[in-house]
A = this chain, B = another copy of it.
């Protein structure tokens, strides 16, 4: 389409990223063409250094540059409490609340029978190995079919081991209106009602 292979190549690469269509990929490539050499060199270097510097924490399986990660090696966190999440970026979402002071465990996925993803494909065994001296495991998976399935699978596995297993509440999001909330969420909000 374009008169340059180098442009075409970068457009193809941008377009292969999630949520980036061909039009946006073109706009990004033309934007890069107008940037300084320094900016593009920095970008190029950041991509290479990403995988060179970042690894999985051998304890919680989050992304980290030091092993164990800063959270796992912190002396200020409550080591009796583990919050289980699907993906590493869920950790920063929870950290932003400043309401959780325990450790994390990243599953790297959820059980999904339709896609052939079983308990052996996610970090469940690794979670079980961490349970000595742990009082409570909070399951903070996404409230959809696969997340719920995985939540109940892990609860069934952990309950006989004498550890308290909880899951985060589903309900009407703060700031929204009942009128615009779907029935499944209202059902969960009723089911999870708390005494005030």
**Residues of chain A whose beta carbon lies under 8 Å from any beta carbon of chain B:** 1-7, 9-10, 13, 17-20, 24, 26-33, 35, 37, 40-54, 62-65, 69-71, 87-89, 91-92, 95-96
Contacts and interface: CB of A to CB of B under 8 A. Distances in A.
A28 B17 contact: yes
Contacts of A3: 62-65, 69-71, 91
Contact of A54 (B7, B53, B70): B7
Nearest to A52: B6
B1 A33 contact: no
A4 B43 contact: no
A45 B13 CA distance: 11
A28 B65 CA distance: 19
A85 to B, nearest CB: 13
